[in-house]
Chain A
Amino acid sequence: EDKVVQSPLSLVVHEGDTVTLNCSYEVTNFRSLLWYKQEKKAPTFLFMLTSSGIEKKSGRLSSILDKKELSSILNITATQTGDSAIYLCAVEYGNKLVFGAGTILRVKS
């Protein structure tokens, strides 16, 4: 059965901390891995990763895929209270996405 597992399930940090969120997958016919941020409603797209070892960056966020280990990490440096959200990992296979349960991040001021 195809599955995506995220860890930790929840995390509380202080402003300025650096966090690393993990995503591992067991999916046949892997095409890409995507990260989304969900605050109150619609998930918003962060990154799409298709190639192993190539880091993608957007401001304080970065992500990398390891196809050998079937995993990806999402790093957030110098966290801010606005980073508080659910971070979702999804893996594309065929023409569908399968989502992990998400990591709930809370950044305290």
Chain B
Amino acid sequence: DGGITQSPKYLFRKEGQNVTLSCEQNLNHDAMYWYRQDPGQGLRLIYYSQIVNDFQKGDIAEGYSVSREKKESFPLTVTSAQKNPTAFYLCASSYRGVGKETQYFGPGTRLLVL
């Protein structure tokens, strides 16, 4: 089945720890995105990547890092510099091009701080 998968479903982070959230897609989409969702704030863009080996910061990139070594994969690392990491994290992907930017979302990872 084609789609976007995220793992784990739930993730617990200790103080000072870096954690990595996985996002994989087999839709042959060029672009991939990471969003953070907090109650009452909609989705905010963390990082995005239009092609392999290239990515750009979104609106709230501080305390996060990404890599795009393969077209199918776009992992997000939440570093210890992110002081308020508790949130629901959504990965999305899309084709590139005007009118083709409909983004499809994975099931999300809920990150909690211990």
Please report the total number of B residues contacting A with Cβ < 8 Å: 25
Q: Encode A84-109 as 1/0 by CB contact (under 8 A) with B.
A: 00001010100111111110000000
Q: Which of A41, A88, A92 contacts B107 (CB 8 A)?
A: A41
- Bound Cα distance from A98 to B48, whole angstroms: 12
Tell me whether B43 and A99 are in contact (CB under 8 A).
yes
Q: How many angstroms between the C-alpha atoms of A99 and B108 in the bound complex? A: 17
In the complex, B90 has a CB within 8 A of chain A: yes
CB distance from A41 to the nearest CB of B (A): 5
Chain B CB within 8 A of A32 CB: yes
B101 contacts the other chain (Cβ, under 8 Å)? yes
Contact of A42 among B33, B50, B99, B108 (CB under 8 A): B108
Known: A32-B101, A34-B102. A101 touches B41 (CB 8 A): yes
Q: Tell me how far the C-beta of A47 lies from the nearest C-beta in chain B, rounded to whole angstroms.
A: 10
Distance between Cα atoms of A102 and B103 in the complex (Å): 17
Nearest CB of chain A from residue B46's CB, rounded to whole Å: 11
Near A by CB (< 8 A), chain B positions 47-92 give: 48, 50, 58, 90
